[in-house]
């Protein structure tokens, strides 16, 4: 898929292709950060079963495997962070492995159901986890169909089926993957440490901006169960803002920040 990004030199670009690329990056980043991470991994807010499945679908669109697989690995990461048992620790295994090597390893492919008994009781989530490529392929097919329709009925837009597939799926998904992977890799090496966590988690405003708040990683490791990761007013956390809107609509129920985040101690 990453190699397919080079097809941009063949298919060219159009304003609508770039808009679709950016929109799908944003929607799927919210699916990963708000749902795969904050909900399925940490259960940091509450929602109904229907909305839970919608969140799982949004996360599955990102092509980062199923919700149970994602949550199982992440829960283990928090218990073993920056030790040799942590599958994607740059401290223990190196920067390149933590960024992309671990997810390509066959030993990390199975879903450890023992880590997610609360999620495994839902058959729709187990199905989505077992058939994790169904949603991405449906997304790709939809983009190809949309590009074909636009090429036939609105040629002035300058797009095509292949162009929409390359920009809307391949480029957008690749950017999305590397942005989220930076939290595993770079956010344990570069940045500031506000809290004295047992691992090397760090805060990065730049990564927080491109990952909708995940860059406040030291904050998160200090208090993993809180839905809000930007603890200060100036710590931009777009996924939190999106969840607040959903709470206004009655679709999710959020919890306030715990008291321990308001009394930071100097990191070691």
Ranges of each domain in the chain: 3-262
* Residue whose token pair is 């190699």: 3
3-state secondary structure of 149: helix
Q: Distance of alpha carbon 3 from its chain centroid, rounded?
A: 21
Q: What are phi and psi of 47, to 5 degrees?
A: -160, 170
Output the pTM of the full model. Answer: 0.95
pLDDT at 47 over 80: yes
Exposure string for 168-190, b = 16+ CB within 10 A, e = fewer: bbbbbbbbbbebbbbbbbbbbee
Q: What is the pLDDT of residues 5-44, one digit of tens each?
A: 999 999 999 999 999 999 999 999 999 999 999 999 999 9
258: which DSSP letter? P
- Expressed in angstroms, the distance from the first to the final Cα of the chain is 41
Enclosing H/E stretch for 252: strand 252-253
- Residue 232: its pLDDT value, please? 93
Please give the residue that has the higher pLDDT: either 235 or 258. 235
Average pLDDT in the 205-215 region? 98
pLDDT at 267 over 80: no
Q: At what angle do helices 49-60 and 123-130 cross, to 10 degrees?
A: 10
pLDDT at 63 over 60: yes
Task: Look at strands 252-253 and 46-47 and give their pairing.
Answer: antiparallel
* Residue whose token pair is 């992440």: 74
Distance CA 163, CA 102 (A): 31
Closest CA to 198 of 208, 210, 212, 188: 188
pLDDT band at 263 (very low <50, low <70, confident <90, very high): low
pLDDT band at 259 (very low <50, low <70, confident <90, very high): confident
Closest CA to 192 of 180, 201, 181: 201
């Amino acid at each position: 898929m990453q190699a397919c990004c080079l097809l941009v030199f063949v298919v060219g670009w159009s304003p609508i292709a770039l808009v679709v690329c950016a929109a799908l990056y944003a929607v799927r980043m919210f699916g990963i950060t708000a749902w795969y991470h904050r909900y399925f991994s940490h259960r940091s807010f509450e929602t109904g079963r229907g909305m839970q499945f919608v969140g799982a679908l949004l996360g599955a669109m990102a092509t980062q495997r199923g919700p149970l697989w994602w949550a199982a690995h992440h829960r283990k990461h928090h218990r073993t962070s920056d030790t040799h048992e942590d599958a994607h620790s740059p401290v223990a295994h190196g920067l390149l492995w933590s960024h992309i090597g671990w997810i390509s390893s066959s030993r990390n492919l199975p879903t450890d159901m023992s880590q997610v008994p609360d999620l495994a009781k839902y058959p729709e989530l187990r199905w989505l986890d077992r058939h994790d490529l169904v949603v991405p392929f449906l997304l790709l097919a939809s983009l190809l169909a949309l590009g074909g329709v636009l090429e036939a009925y609105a040629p002035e837009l300058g797009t095509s089926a292949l162009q929409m597939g390359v920009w809307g799926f391949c480029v957008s998904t690749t950017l999305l993957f590397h942005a989220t992977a930076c939290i595993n890799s770079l956010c344990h090496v570069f940045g500031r440490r506000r809290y004295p966590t047992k691992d090397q988690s760090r805060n990065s405003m730049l990564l927080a901006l491109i990952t909708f708040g995940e860059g406040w990683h030291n904050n998160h490791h200090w208090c993993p169960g809180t839905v809000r990761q930007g603890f200060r007013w100036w710590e931009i956390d777009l996924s939190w803002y999106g969840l607040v809107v959903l709470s206004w609509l009655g679709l999710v129920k959020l919890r306030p920040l715990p008291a321990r985040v308001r009394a930071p101690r100097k990191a070691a």
